[in-house]
Amino acid sequence: MLRKTVIWGASGHARVVADALRLAGGHDLVGFLDDVNPERAGTRFCGLPVLGGKERLEDLLREGVTHVIFGFGDCAARLRLADFVRSLGFSLAVAIHPRSVIAEDVPVGDGTLVAAGAVVNPGARIGGNVILNTSCSVDHDSVVEDGAHVCPGARLGGNVSVGRGAWVGIGSVVIDGVRIGAGAFLGAGSVVVGDIPEGILAYGVPARPVRKVDADG
């Protein structure tokens, strides 16, 4: 039986989520929610209606929609809103593109997207509301905690830990055994050879801490 699912978000990343869900099967996509641009309600996006914003959620639940997945990159917002939609009675969908590669023993948490070309090797663990974006790789025994985003083309070596809500920038490389703290932000193309503290912006080759991440991300 297909699970009736709505995607919260209606921009570029939401297209990627919708494509993964459609190709993987198992979901009946009913449309998108957009709180950023309320004037889009009633228009169409990716062949489906923009249903409105979060004010529509309770109606959708009554209409038989059971699953929500987020179609935006803001890590803190995904974590916050995951608790909200669960409190209403929704489950979080998982979107795993059929042309990703995930080792048999790897758990993947609710609300997570694994995009096309992503590779996750044995012994890794992937939390909930994670984004493993296009052609990234997570090597053996690494842990990506809830709400983190491993951006397109990023490479995590073995036994890397990415903390809750952290952001690993596009094309970054993280060597084996490194710990990236919760809420840390790695700039694009960084080469990370040592631990990055919680809540720190770091970038460069090698990556160096620059400043605290702003409170609003």
What's at 156, amino acid-wise? L
The pLDDT of residue 1 is 83
Give the per-residue pLDDT at 217: 45
- One domain, residues 101 and 187: yes
Q: Whole-angstrom Cα distance, residue 52 to residue 34?
A: 6
Host domain of residue 127: 94-207
Span 98-109, pLDDT tens digits = 999 999 999 999
User: Structural domain tally of the chain?
Assistant: 2
pLDDT tens-digit profile of 46-66? 999 999 999 999 999 999 999
Parts of the chain with a pLDDT under 70: 215-217
Report the alpha-carbon distance of residue 32 to residue 99 in Å, rounded.
Answer: 24
From CA 59, how far away is CA 122, in angstroms rounded?
41
Kindly report, residue by residue over 29-50, the tens digit of the pLDDT. 999 999 999 999 999 999 999 9
Indicate whether 98 and 186 sit together in one domain: yes
Whichever domain contains 177, its CATH number is 2.160.10.10
Q: Indicate if 84 and 169 belong to the same structural domain.
A: no
Answer for the pair 8, 69: CB distance below 8 angstroms, yes or no: yes
Residues 88 and 102 in one domain: no
Using only the alpha carbons of the chain, give its radius of gyration. 17
